[in-house]
Amino acid sequence: MTTLGENNQRIEVLDGLRGIAIFAAVIYHYANNLIDADASQFNLTLKSLTQFFYTSIDMFFLLSGFLLGGILLKNKQSPKFFKTFYMRRVYRIIPLYFLLLFVAGIICFVGIGRGTDWWFHQELPFWIYFTFLQNIFIGITNSLGNAWLSPSWSLGVEEQFYLIISFLIYFSPKRTLIFILTAGIIAAPVFRYHAPTVFALSTFTYCRFDALFGGILLAIVYQDAVCVSFIKKHIGKLQILTLGLFAISFLFSVGKWHMALYLTNSWFTIIYAAVILLVLIDSQNIFHRLASYQFFVRLGLYSFSIYLFHEIILGLFFFLIPGKLPQIHSVADALMVALCAILTYFVARFLYLYLEKRFMALGHQYNY
């Protein structure tokens, strides 16, 4: 449990979970989103099986709430509480994100993607992306905006969450905090049910409280020795339950059962929360072993760069080589997508080693 302290050590299995989550997200964007209704039966089956891979963002939100919530809970009495938290966030987010904006700006200035959804438009002008409010405008206009920058909506959610989490933890007694977190988790599907647009259901911050607040609640549980002891005692049952929930999710994927859209994120948040507890508390279960694979651990380290830049790499390859929108209609298209995935990995690795890692080290000069 001490690994949630603020030091430079990483929890490897959580990097592995990030790696699995970013792997699913890229498959969703590189496969599911590129397959249309006229595709072959094989592609349509693949599209069906990967239809819930977009919920990997809920794993990222859970991990964000868990790790940052745990750090803030432990350092609540620090006189440098707010300064350290926000300066570390600035160094973590801003350099890579501003590089993304610079690259996307150059691409559009050159004219690549003009006349398509990859272009800037009135609903989401370029300046919006500098405010971290794109998620709100996406929800209001029901438009995903510039496709080069489409992954950045989650950064808007994260930045708004940072404002909430710091004040919430600092000023709330533990019982009050647990009550607020529980209320937010329960309210999230209600907020999604009443969301004004389809995109708002995903991009409004309060519609993601189940994952974000759930992560903080997980941190509270993980820092409580009694709770951890109870989970250890029933770890086998928790693993069976989690596997059962995944099995039911498969039935939803293949269309045997139907799940209401506003409940989907809550359903997978529960599953992913159980997975996080399993990989942290017990080293013998299948989820811990899967998250320990070095391939996923490496993907987890590079996940931020992968997430921000994978759409840009996909778009550039398709616009510049075959000269068309990214879609999978042939084996050649599938090979192009696979090549984009490989290139994304190496670009992300470079960015992590020579940009992210260095700026994170600068951020860690601020101590609680």
pLDDT cut 90: percent of the chain above it: 88
Domain containing 198: what range?
2-363
Whether residue 53 has pLDDT greater than 70: yes
The per-residue pLDDT of the chain, averaged, comes to 94
Secondary structure element (H or E) that encloses residue 68, with its range: helix 56-74
Mean pLDDT, residues 323-350 taken together:
95
Per-residue pLDDT, averaged over 285-312, amounts to 97
Domain assignment present for 202: yes
Q: How confident is the model at residue 265 (pLDDT cuts 50, 70, 90)?
A: very high
**Considering its fold, how many domains does the chain have in total?**
1
Burial of 106 (0-12, 13-18, 19+ CB in 10 A): exposed
| pLDDT for 38 beyond 80 | no
- Is residue 277 pLDDT above 80, yes or no? yes
Check residue 9 and give its pLDDT.
58
Residue 176 within any structural domain of the chain: yes
pLDDT of the residue at 123? 84
Instruction: Assign 7 a pLDDT band (cuts: 50, 70, 90).
Output: very low
- Whole-number pLDDT of residue 224: 95
Does residue 368 fall inside a structural domain?
A: no
Averaged over 102-111, what is the pLDDT?
94
Q: In this model, does residue 8 exceed pLDDT 70?
A: no
- In a domain? residue 168: yes
Q: Sorting pLDDT into bands at 50, 70 and 90, what band is 256?
A: confident
The verdict on residue 35 lying in a domain is yes
pLDDT, greater one: 363 or 37:
363
121 dihedral zone (left: phi>0; alpha: psi -120 to 50; beta): beta
Q: What mean pLDDT is predicted for residues 151-158?
A: 97
State residue 289's pLDDT score: 96
pLDDT given for residue 10 in this prediction: 78
The mean per-residue pLDDT over the stretch 317-337 comes to 92
Does 150 fall in a domain? yes
Residue 5 — pLDDT band, cuts 50, 70, 90?
Answer: very low
Helix (H, G, I), strand (E, B) or coil at 21: helix
In a domain, 303, yes or no: yes
